[in-house]
Structure 1
């Protein structure tokens, strides 16, 4: 249901919905017209995966979904320190997992805000997993929504956890300033509607630039967009109704890419009050996914793939051009949470969002740093922490509690974080925060 770049290679998690097969494959894509497999593992216990998270804590790790048997499943942790030889290090069973309840009792997606993994468990809510050691992860909490929310997509930026429902119209925004204990944000549990105020179901979503983009699947396809920059007062920001049926959605540089079953669509979302369709892309089958990578789009069908070129192999995934020139635009910071000038708790994390997916390895303590505002130099006041990136979101997790009553600066220097094409952040970014309480 997606592909991402990792260590210069295209990473593809693949598996049928019913699991018991599937794997993780890395491709060399310097020539996108001729992708070449460089690494592959098929452990036989992987399930359909809707997200691919990474962690640099103590190694190089990835997480997908696991299902070793029909009534047992959860998370599958991988060692990806060598993409030519990915290896499973742990299959973690989570309580309440049941298949064939394909939408009710399974794990849809996971977000790795290292060292914790937040997993969307459908009607089972949100699992909070301490994956400091991915070879022996520990379940630290399970947050269950009342009434039940069928948790599908899940993303974390700083102290904010965004949970959208699968094939429903409900979203919940949670405070994770205490990372082990998610709490509801007053006003942050809402029903997504179209421009007429009618509740509309979405299949999946992505949060970008302080907005949630929903792949609409109710009375048409297209997009619905909600502004969550103030998570206590989410508001409708724009939309576009198509004749499709929404699957997954990604945002890159003012464009949204959606799979809509019969086709994939590209939308201009630079003005959310006037979203327009730019083009449509085609691949025979149930075309639910269109992932933008540089100046190409990777299309994937998850059912009814066809042999369109007569070579005896059905094409489930193809690479198609979108822009005529290679991507030369640097990534831009479009969101920081907590907001610049905001209040932190001693256990807070801070996160930034970019306008496109970023190179996971380019996000580290040298390119994403937090330091005391009163320090003579950033190096003197630097806070030790873990930096992790998933798709377009980057998080900084302090290794020790922050000091009450103290101001801190988050800095991303120019030339640090890069996109998939190696374009680096052109302008430095800073945000300032103060930790609640009285200084010791």
Structure 2
């Protein structure tokens, strides 16, 4: 019985060393695989309890066995690739993908691309899931699904707000009330500027702003669209022809040069009076007449030259797809040739309280298990689950130097157990040769 247990001990040691070498070999073979997480073999002794009056302190173990293969989710190094769909996680989170059979997997491999339908997938065809962003509210919705990158042109957007940040020279002389404002008469206003605005069809128009000093600390703001005057501050019924004189917005300043009128520093520029040079009403161009909210809140009147610090508006024409990118917060934004961007989805990061209990299924994927705990997802801008780096990949976290040292150690263990069996065999042969 003693010799039998001795052989069993040696064989269990050989088996354990072999399994340990298999784990090491698997780590080494995957050392260049993106997002791979190494494993460590854990062993436990095998003990046979003898019931000799309850005394088992003199019993000898029966060898060793593989108790667990533990996954190591330590962060791997990040390498820059430049491809917008190469995504690296710096933190503890996972990407969530949907397999063709509808099941969900978790992965650290961020090698994604677009399939024929412009859906983001990995090399196995699993679809990357994300949370759509509502285009009206800009908020992230709470139902995840595959992410599609539309390459269609962006639709035009009519200008609705404009902003002018400027200083009106307090030293300038007021224009005589007998001089009627006329865009063609340079003597009927003090300063002017212009910007491009857009209607609902994306057609561009030139909007000009004229500033006229009426008296000390009092100015008027006039507007014209493509050379035709439009009302500022009023919303009259649209006439069939453009008036010779449009209504103006009043600007009043304190003695210190601060704007006090209008109270909210915003005017409404009404395009309902706009008529083209050919006498065609604005609505006949195919667009519904719209209004601009004109922000003059940063206008001042100091004793310095007229200067434009900022002039902006929020409309744009239709423009083709130019590319896309994923931010560190996981927001996927489509870029267009006119400089506009559209946030379409947010890539969620998921984690588990016990990720070591996730079930590996190959191809750098894991399945959720009860032992891993509930799925946790972060859609906020905090970095609790990590950050995403676009144009980069996380390398395998295998430490080749440590693995090679462990391989030498496992080899020595295997040799020692082999020697143990040989020694037991030699003793048994000596006994059987006794005469």
TM range (shorter): under 0.3
Query: TM-score, normalised to structure 1's length?
Result: 0.19
Query: TM-score, normalised to structure 2's length?
Result: 0.19
Richer in strand (by share):
1
Richer in helix (by share):
2
Higher relative contact order (CA 8 A, sep 6+): 2
